[in-house]
Amino acid sequence: MSDFDHILNWKLLAGSHAFPGPDGGTCINEAAIVACGYRYQSVTSVGYMPDCFSPSICGLAMRLNDNATDLQRQRLMPFVTRLACADTPKVERERASYIDARIDRSVFFTREFQFEDELRVLEGALAIGRQADPLGVAETATRLDAARNRATPVKKRSDSLPAKVKSWFGLSQALEGVD
């Protein structure tokens, strides 16, 4: 993981995110999209991933990302550049079968989640079929930094009733000063 030392300030977080915050602040799949040169986008399911990403591998990565502790989650950073490895339907079925045979879905969101075991499953699934095109660490860091620098925080909306009504009907200018 030492090759990734200078991009570790990109912090992986649980769940999907509207934009990468000052510390990165995205899930593994959102970071992978940026690392591969795509424009940043929120990922709420693997269906939002570009076609060059393996759905079964990204699904497992999402599971690991969302169930891990903050410390464990950062150990997923080296996998960010390896998720763009979509292959033929036959290989994708083989990957899915490999994962399904080794992951107990009945403990999907329970305390019985075993990070180390599932991380080994991710490594095994990534060994099946096409490997992601190698991305240089410098190029990856540049792309992640560019996404972070382009990001602007989402303006916090007011919880007041007039503000909600304005937002529902797009009346923010027409009702200026009603709060």
Q: Which residue has the higher pLDDT, 19 or 78?
A: 78
On whether residue 179 sits in a domain, the answer given is no
Beta bridge partners of 12: 26
- Structural domain for 69, as ranges: 2-169
Count of domains forming the chain: 1
pLDDT tens readout for residues 30-53: 989 988 888 888 898 999 999 999
Q: What per-residue confidence (pLDDT) applies to 10?
A: 72
On whether residue 35 sits in a domain, the answer given is yes
Q: Which amino acid is at 142?
A: T
On whether residue 106 sits in a domain, the answer given is yes
Query: What average pLDDT score do residues 58-64 get?
Result: 94
On whether residue 175 sits in a domain, the answer given is no
On whether residue 177 sits in a domain, the answer given is no
Cβ atoms of 101 and 118 closer than 8 Å: no
pLDDT tens readout for residues 99-147: 999 987 665 555 556 889 999 999 999 999 998 877 666 666 666 666 6
- Whole-structure pTM value: 0.71
Q: What's the 3-state SS for the chain?
A: CHHHHHHCCCEECCCCCCCCECCEEECHHHHHHHHCCCCCCCCCCHHHCCCCCCHHHHHHHHHHHHHCCHHHHHCCHHHHHHCCCCCCHHHHHHHHHHHHHHCCHHHCCCCCCCHHHHHHHHHHHHCCCCCCCCCCHHHHHHHHHHHHHHCCCCCCCCCCHHHHHHHHHCCCCCCCCCC
* Residues in the chain, overall count: 179
Q: What's the 3-state SS for 27-65?
A: CHHHHHHHHCCCCCCCCCCHHHCCCCCCHHHHHHHHHHH
CA distance 73 to 86: 23
